[in-house]
Amino acid sequence: VLDGFASYYEMELHQSAEALYDTVSALMDGNRAPVIDQLRIDAYELARVRKVVIIGCGTSYHAGLVGRYLVEHLARVPVEVDVASEYRYRDPILDADTLVIGISQSGESLETITALRDCQVNGARTIAITNVIGSQLSRVADGVLYTRAGPEISVASTKTHLAQIGALAMFAIYLGEIKGTLYPDEAKRRRQELAEMAPLIRTTVEREGIWRGVVEQYLLLDRFFFIGRNLLYPVAMEGALKMKELSYIAAEAYPAGELKHGPIAMLDEQAVVVALLGDDRLHDKMLSNLEEVRARGAKLIVVAPDGDQSADDLADAVLRVPPCLALHAPLLMVLPLQVLAGWMAKVRGLDLDKPRNLAKTVTVE
């Protein structure tokens, strides 16, 4: 059943390339839009959308945060992202020109379902992004974009997170086409680039043996900080969540620029900082954030693309991923963090598939 893996967590992590590819290719209709009959909201209605709201819980919420960058960058429509259980009680401002996207792997998280329903009552149009056909969320929403990651048994999500980002990227490209921010040729090229991330995801996961040697000596430490900027900040959040839920140790995520506004006081020789170094316009700012970390004596593990040696002198360890477009980096940079969280749990003798106190589907508020 486990295909040679010791846990569903590890097996499913290794199915990420297929999860992304199957999701993206199913949302491609030849060269055209996401499959329209699933979306069930026509181009005319989408052209009217003036605000997008994305809601979800946990890992799905983090995918939504990545989605914000994708939609704002590609379609130039303002996006709000919130945790489903908070959004509902914020007395949100919604109207018929607001599109709400509810993300839920299971499609059964009560908070996401109830929040989406409330949005409908307040006049918004709604789309579900879910992995489970016929789930409650898919039935409540006006339209559905399915992720096609296959069943996810492990309580901690891995492959479905990548599939969710893939679905959001496809949606962002489609909306960009409708809004006129992307020419059809460009939209087509971007869809292809997204599908081409699948083989890169596969080769990235295959590097886990190399990563292991690099981080082995840090696995028993128990104070971790994850930092990133821009669209790598949600990736840092996801890395911290994975570590908390699998190995039960304290792990926090910060936008790298925020460190100096308080959290840096916590850094000392016992702390480990995992930093995501993207190949983007914030690269140099990130490097100066890393120098701040280094000066406090914290251990520094940097995730960086091949060929970028700018942090090698500062870092205690570097985890390499293949280079890719900055916009797609979350799909690769999350992988070493998922792998690391799994090892942290393993060296502690913990159950990777069923962390304590957690359920795969949360149907209470």
Provide the binding-site residues for ligand F6R, judged by CB under 6 A: 57-60, 104-106, 109, 112, 156-157, 241, 245, 362
100 in the Ramachandran plot: left (φ > 0), alpha (ψ -120 to 50) or beta? beta
> End-to-end alpha-carbon separation of the chain, Å?
33
CB nearer ligand F6R, residue 82 or residue 245: 245
Closest approach of Cβ 128 to ligand F6R, in Å? 10
CB nearer ligand F6R, residue 147 or residue 230: 147
CB nearer ligand F6R, residue 105 or residue 230: 105
Helix 16-26 × helix 159-179 angle, to 10°? 30
- Phi, psi for 156 (deg, rounded to 5): -80, 125
By the 8 A CB rule, do 246 and 344 touch? yes
Closest approach of Cβ 308 to ligand F6R, in Å? 29
Closest approach of Cβ 119 to ligand F6R, in Å? 16
User: Nearest-CB residue to ligand F6R?
Assistant: 58
Closest approach of Cβ 216 to ligand F6R, in Å? 24
CB nearer ligand F6R, residue 94 or residue 110: 110
CB nearer ligand F6R, residue 74 or residue 165: 165
Strand partners, 205: none
Please give the full DSSP string across 177-223, using - where no structure is assigned: HHHTSS-HHHHHHHHHHHHTHHHHHHHHHTTHHHHHHHHGGGTT--E
Alpha carbon distance 283, 141 (integer Å): 39
- In terms of Cα–Cα distance, which of 338, 325, 13 is closest to 196? 325
Closest approach of Cβ 49 to ligand F6R, in Å? 23
Alpha carbon distance 337, 330 (integer Å): 11
CB nearer ligand F6R, residue 304 or residue 344: 344
Q: How crowded is residue 64: how many other Cβ atoms within 10 Å of its Cβ?
A: 29
Closest approach of Cβ 156 to ligand F6R, in Å? 4
Alpha carbon distance 209, 7 (integer Å): 17
Closest approach of Cβ 276 to ligand F6R, in Å? 18
Distances (CA, A) of 95 to 118, 126, 132, 292: 12, 11, 28, 45
CB nearer ligand F6R, residue 33 or residue 57: 57
